[in-house]
Structure 1
Amino acid sequence: MTRPPLPQDETTRLQTAATRHLWMHFTRHGSSPEDHVPIMVRGEGVHLWDTQGRRYIDGLAGLFTSQLGHGRRDLAEAAAAQTTELEFMPLWSYAHPPAIELAERLAQLTPGDLNRVFFTNSGSEAVETAWKLAKNYFRLTGRPTKHKVISRATAYHGTTHGALSITGIAGLKQDFEPLVPSTVHVSNTNAYRAAELTAGALEVQDQQSLERFGIWAADQIALAIEAQGPDTVAAVFLEPVQNAGGCFPPPPGYFQRVREICDEHDVLLVSDEVICAFGRLGHMFGAEHFGYQPDMITTAKGITSGYAPLGAVLASDRLMEPFLEPGAMFGHGYTFGGHPVSTAVGLKNLEIFEEEKVLEHVQQNAGAFRSTLEKLLDLPIVGDVRGEGFFYGIELVKDKSTRASFSAEECERILYGFISKKLFAEGLYCRADDRGDPVIQLSPPLIATTEDLEEIEQILRSVLSEAWSLI
């Protein structure tokens, strides 16, 4: 399906205004011609259209967000209806029906006793809130020295100062130091690089070695807690499938061992599900998908399928108890957290999930997505394909036999200079990234069909085959 382009004078006006006034996020503004800002003007289903009328398949769901796809009138109507009823009311000692009803619905869906919902505007704010809540909880329960956080190398947890401190990507942090102290980083679960992570002690070759690697990785958390002192560690922040670095699933038994470690040392387990919740892995929550019980879940993105900004911390009843004492208060909040329009959209989003059996669709098609992408393993540039559900990473190498990665110069020239631009030119919007090793990340809307997934593979195959000639 094609869309007519915008008139040329309107496209030119937008380009000029963008280059003069719009400060885009995570963007190298000096690296592109002034008249070459990609401007998307329409979305429908799994597709996007730009000012030139060109169609793209959205292989990233916006930014791991557009679960139900673009252009849904039912979600837009839910937002409009709430705006005419009550457009704004803060949750500072007051409440409104959509926030109450969405909190109740989320409590019904969460695993275990995560029955308390603190609304934020974004994933970064949710992570920030969870850390502050952990510290406040231990202070109120007589353990004020428990304030440190354990997270994983290369993991991304957000951009606010606290969330950025928890993030394990040095390149994102150095321009904003000094950051919040009290964060410690341990190994991630990149099984493809297990030999490197374990200094040659483990190489994943079969199911048994994968399980051993999972226990080894979990035990790094125990070692970090013991090194810091259990009386100083408040929480462990982990994504069900780690995003940055290229979609690292947990090895079998990993989260079960982490849960044991946290219980042993009285440390809270925070499941950072800003990406992995709301169907991305085929279940409402990633913790449910992998069978572990967190003390908190942080989330955002898919909670509204991107139709309004909203995030949340889902906390256990135990964490709420000290705040129910007379005079106690969690002195934290956001003006727009739990906005009436956003929470109304969140309610409608969950209603559609149930009516259209979105989770079942992902579960039924997850195997086809994996097998479709694994076809790319016949290309010499593709070293690994990994992920879960509708969330995958493709790691690129320059030597399959040695698993040799790209140099910094090759990342600039091949990953960013060619692959990223060429994929977009061929009609695929996705992410080419080198936070860790060079990867392509894919996270299409959850409504994507097998035909959509095959189109993604075909574009990738064409571009990656051409990219190999540049090595």
Structure 2
Amino acid sequence: MTVTEQSVPQTAPGAPGPARAARDHLWMHFARMGAYQDRPAPVIVKGEGAHVWDDRGHKVLDGLSGLFVVQAGHGRAELAEVMAKQAETLAFFPVWGYATEPAVQLAERVASYAPGDLNRVFFTTGGGEAVESAWKVAKQYFKLTGKPMKHKVISRATAYHGTPQGALAITGLPAMKQAFEPLTPGGFRVPNTNIYRAERMGAPTDPVAFGAWAAARIEEAILFEGPETVAAVVLEPVQNSGGCFVPPPGYFQRVREICDRHDVLLVSDEVICGFGRHGTMFACEKFGYQPDIITCAKGMSSGYGPIGAMIASDRIMEPFLEGKNFFPHGYTFGGHPVSAAVSLANLDIFEREGLNQNVLDNEQALGDTLRRLLDLDIVGDVRGDGYFWAVELVKDKATKETFDLAERETLIKQFLPGALFRNGLYARPDDRGEPVIQVAPALTTGQAEFDEMEQVLRATLTEAMRLV
């Protein structure tokens, strides 16, 4: 059977089973729930290595690591055993003025991986909470150090930083915010680093000049708002939303200088980029800059337990150690013992199996494999780094013309998600910026999985060209 002939077996809308229960009771995230009144949602029941299966036995390559999460792959029995053992010993206790052994050991381990003096680890249960925590600690830090006006945050257009009210205010996606406005005040946007669209932004197309231009926009925003009011700049090493915008040469070094000049904290949002996605524990290492705070989550446990963290420098922690000062913020399940224990075991796998090195050894091959798709008329750009890549889709390759709203609805929302899954690949069609398909395979994968991804993408995009 060819890749285009495969299909996902469908359950009749009224049929019993998990698909019907999902339709009637499960409120899925970021999903058009009305769509599942007439057709069943895929129900994923098993994962092994780089593949998952649905409840009808359809095997699919997980080309997105779940959601940029399952770094070590699915079905790791040793991780399940660690979780069971920890749950038997101590299933839960909060870190609200108390410590548990797994939380202490994981904080020490994560601090050992973090660059410079980022030695203080504040646990959350996910990435949005980590970003929320970073903004709150930045505000309070400046209040404690005599600069109470500093509260604003600069982030980039199209960037996604989470769904809590504060993190959403940092997010640069207006459509995601409209239903919940007014949000936490203080979020301001600057241009992102999508060099493929540099001309449209009125920016230079030379990579070094483009990096200098993009960094200058950050300083311009700080000066416009007033340095005495700006607390932080929040940036992903490689921006996710919009499709894997890699930093131009020298960009982060200039941003670091700008932040130092105006006493602004640099927050590296590594919820996706951290824990091996780019071949280092934290991507700021790879791109050569020292942040004041790192936010992280996802790959810390490879998804085997919900966990995230804000990692702060000793300088940030210092005023919180004085007298009766404290950070009035926390989460019931932050640093959960089971999640912390499985994260430690996951990081053991990183070191034992050399997952970071595997990414460094194979990132070029992954990029080269995906670039084969550039021979398709619908593919305008292939970009990324490490195991984090995007294929941008265009209507006209020569002019870089993109699809209009109706065409995006047909292509991104209606056709591609089902067609990719049907053809054997779970990836992410997205049009929060320009239309793209993102892939981010498990860090254990190699050329065989890269070829599998490329074949499904090619077959599906060939179908898409006939459609649009």
Asked whether the two chains share a fold, i.e. TM above 0.5, the reply is: yes
Aligned to 1:222: 219
Q: Are the equivalent residues in 2 in contact too, given 1:121–1:310 (CA < 8 A)?
A: yes
The answer to whether the 8 Å contact 2:13/2:20 transfers is no
Q: What is the Cα deviation at residue 9 of structure 1?
A: 13
Q: Determine the structure 2 residue equivalent to 1:31.
A: 35
For residue 62 of structure 1, what is the aligned residue in structure 2? 66
Q: How many residues align?
A: 461
TM-score (norm 2): 0.96
Matches within 5 A, 1:418-429: 418-429=415-426
* Aligned-pair CA distance for 1:299: 0.3
CA distance in 2, matches of 1:7, 1:182: 47
- 1:446 — aligned with what? 443
Matched, 1:123 2:127: yes
**Is residue 306 of structure 1 aligned with residue 310 of structure 2?**
no
Equivalent position SS for 1:440: strand
Hey, what does 2:84 align to over in structure 1?
80
**Distance apart, 1:413 and its partner CA:** 1.1
Determine the C-alpha separation between the residues in 2 that align with 1:342 and 1:89.
12
Task: State the secondary structure of the residue aligned to 2:53.
Answer: strand
Give the equivalent residue in structure 1 for 2:322: 325
Q: Deviations over 1:232-254 (max 9, x none)?
A: 00000000000000000000000
Ranges in structure 1 where 5+ consecutive residues have no aligned partner: none
Q: Does 1:275 align with 2:279?
A: no
Deviation at 1:358, TM superposition (A): 0.5
CA contact (8 A) 1:6 1:51 kept: no
- TM-score in terms of structure 1 length: 0.96
1:16–1:34 contact (8 Å) kept in structure 2: no
CA drift at 1:422: 0.8
1:346 paired residue among 343, 352, 356: 343
Q: Determine whether 1:169 maps to 2:169.
A: no
Aligned equivalent of 2:201: 197
Residues 407, 138 of structure 1: alpha-carbon distance in 2 compared, 3 angstrom cutoff: same
- Structure 1 stretch 443-452 or stretch 234-243: which is displaced more? 443-452
Equivalent runs, 1:278-427 vs 2, <5 Å: 278-427=275-424
CA distance in 2, matches of 1:360, 1:464: 31
- Deviation string 1:281-309 (CA, Å, 9 cap, x unpaired) is 11110101101000000000000000000
Cα gap change, 1:257/1:7 in structure 2, threshold over 3 Å: closer, same or farther? closer
Aligned to 2:56: 52
- CA offset at residue 11 of structure 1? 7.6
CA distance, structure 2, for counterparts of residue 163 and residue 80 of structure 1: 33
Q: Bigger shift: 25-34 or 184-193? A: 25-34
Is contact 1:310-1:337 (8 Å) kept? yes
SS of alignment partner, residue 400 of structure 2: coil
Moved more, 359-368 or 6-15: 6-15
Match of 1:135 among 130, 139, 143: 139
Residue type of the partner of 2:169? S
In structure 2, the partner of 1:433 is 430
Matched, 1:104 2:108: yes
Q: Of residues 234, 239, 244 in structure 1, which corresponds to 2:241?
A: 244
Q: 1:15 is matched with which residue?
A: 19
The answer as to whether partners of 1:6 and 1:53 remain within 8 angstroms in 2 is no
C-alpha distance in structure 1 between counterparts of 2:16 and 2:439, whole Å: 31
Q: Is the Cα–Cα contact under 8 Å of residues 15 and 34 in structure 1 kept in the other structure? A: no
Decide whether the 8 Å contact of 1:149 with 1:184 is kept in 2: yes
Kept after mapping to 1: 8 A contact 2:23/2:36: no
Q: State the match for 1:179 in structure 2.
A: 183
- The one-letter code matched in structure 2 to 1:313 is M
Which range moved further: 291-300 or 12-21? 12-21
Q: CA deviation at 1:417?
A: 2.0
Q: Which amino acid aligns with 1:311?
A: G
CA distance in 2, matches of 1:62, 1:111: 27
1:12 shift after superposition? 2.7
Partners of 1:314 and 1:234 in 2: CA distance = 17
- SS in structure 2 of the partner of residue 12 of structure 1: coil
SS at match of 1:80: helix
Deviation at 1:17, TM superposition (A): 1.2
Q: d(CA) in 2 for partners of 1:420 and 1:34?
A: 16
Partners of 2:11 and 2:40 within 8 A in 1: no
Task: Look up the SS of the partner of 2:198 in the other structure.
Answer: helix
Q: Secondary structure at the match of 1:118?
A: strand
**Partner SS for 1:445:** coil
After alignment, is 409-418 or 381-390 more displaced?
409-418
Q: Deviations over 1:265-295 (max 9, x none)?
A: 0000000000000000111101011010000
For 2:248 and 2:66, the matched residues in 1 are separated by 28
Contact 2:394 2:403 in 1 (8 A): yes
CA contact (8 A) 1:149 1:233 kept: yes
Q: Report the counterpart of residue 455 of structure 1 in structure 2.
A: 452
Number of the residue aligned with 1:71: 75
Given that residues 11 and 19 in structure 2 are in contact (C-alpha distance below 8 angstroms), is that contact kept between their aligned partners in structure 1?
no
Contact 1:65–1:305 (8 Å) recurs in 2:
yes
Q: Which secondary structure does the structure 1 equivalent of 2:274 belong to?
A: coil
Distance 1:234 1:464 in 2: 44
Contact 1:48 1:58 in 2 (8 A): yes
Query: CA–CA distance in 2 between the matches of 1:414 and 1:27?
Result: 16
User: Partner amino acid for 1:425?
Assistant: R
Counterparts of 2:418 and 2:313, CA distance in 1? 44
Cα offsets for 1:158-202 (capped at 9, x unmatched): 00000000000011000000001111000000000001112xx42
Given that residues 240 and 250 in structure 1 are in contact (C-alpha distance below 8 angstroms), is that contact kept between their aligned partners in structure 2? yes
Task: Report sequence identity in percent.
Answer: 59
Per the alignment, in what secondary structure is the counterpart of residue 312 of structure 1? strand
1:81, distance to aligned residue in structure 2 (A): 0.9
Mapped to 2, the partners of 1:27 and 1:323 lie a distance apart of 41
Give 1:32 shift: 3.5
* Alpha-carbon contact 1:19-1:34 (below 8 Å) kept: no
